[in-house]
Amino acid sequence: MRRTLLLATLAIMASSVSLSAQAMTSAEPFKVGTFEIDGAPTVAIVLRDALIVDLNAANAALEATLRYAAIPMPADMLGLIERYEYGLKPRLYEIVNDLVASNSLMGAARPDYIHDLDDVRTLPPILYPGKILNAAVNFYSHVSEGANPEAQAAAREQRRVNRGVPYLFLKPSRGAVIGNGDSIILPWGRDRTDWEVELGAVIGRPAKYVSANDAENYVFGYMVTIDVSDRGGRPPGGYGQGSDWFVGKGHDTFAPQGPWIVPKEFYGNPMEILRQTLRIGDDQLQEATAGDMIHTLWELIEYGSSIVTLFPGDVVNNGTSGGTAAGIANQRNTDIRYMQAGQVVEASIDGIGTLRMLVIAEDEATGLTGAHLPPVCSYRNCR
């Protein structure tokens, strides 16, 4: 009897070890995102860039087999990010492995908690980041982009010789953050709205005084972002005569993010493989790799975390390259201008995905008292 119990115990232990070992690798790479399913924001696993797996429902089905321990699922993406390296990652691997092993991703065997991407609305992956840090002028091709070639070369060489520390600025979160397929709204009267494709690094655990050498260990994953920018500036007068980053970066819809997040184990080292591009219609306007960056992503995290603690779900954007509207508009012999209503902006990063955003114009607001931005044309030459 004792021998039978011992053998049974060993079998159970072996089975547990086998499941645990299996869960440490995923049968397929996956991404994670937030989608509107049955009218509610839902955290999901993304497979093959086409299949949306409702995480909570898939986990319930897995646990119903009685072969897996019960693990509570996160209520939102912030919860997933916080817990990913603290016990949640193996469960996501188990869900993917079970679906692949049972051939449940396609055909009649596909459960009803797996949706086609086109049948759900894609929301911003994180609703909403606590902080968004953006790097200003962090690509050599973006330095003095609107100047003549000689001035550009001189400015870029000076920057190589004296990189200094990164320039980071805060961008608003809720209100500015929108998801794939949402519309970028051109604020009324603002006729110099620009595009900037960027890589968004999502922080995975609290980071304070993090060394650049160790910064990658604090990253959860990566997504595509667009730093939409208002180049119209502010009218003369009032306090301050320099750049107004609130005006330039803070309008509603000016922080598209997504379409999902790639956990870092499925992406690789961005400082080796990054390629980010942006096109409007048939025109590719931006293309850059990590070799054009002035400060590495890891240096941005080091600098940012030396000033403020970065928490799970915070986003650090790497900056953009040449090919912005501001640079192109200052060059002769081109018809390219700032964003126009009706355009579709497509920002892509290889290995992550593409944000496709329709540009629409905002109607003039009524009832204002005068403490608001007048149209750019009222204090600068119209474009």
pLDDT digits (tens, 9 = 90+) for 240-285: 777 899 999 999 999 999 999 999 999 999 999 999 999 999 999 9
Say which DSSP state 315 is in. E
Q: CB of 196 within 8 A of CB of 138?
A: no
In the chain, residues under CATH classification 3.90.850.10 are 132-378
Q: CA 34 to CA 43: how far, in whole Å? A: 5
Counting DSSP H helices and E strands in the chain, the numbers are 9, 19
Q: For residue range 346-370, what is the model confidence (pLDDT) as tens digits? A: 999 999 999 999 999 999 999 999 8
Q: CB of 257 within 8 A of CB of 315?
A: yes
Give mean pLDDT, residues 301-305. Answer: 98
pLDDT value of residue 2: 47
Give mean pLDDT, residues 288-300. Answer: 97
Q: CB of 77 within 8 A of CB of 125?
A: yes
Strand ranges in 172-301 using DSSP code E only, listed in sequence order: 177-178, 183-186, 193-194, 197-203, 219-226, 229-230, 255-263, 275-280, 283-289
**What does pTM read for this prediction?**
0.92
The position carrying tokens 């126009």 is: 340
pLDDT value of residue 333: 52
Question: What CATH number has the domain spanning 132-378?
Answer: 3.90.850.10
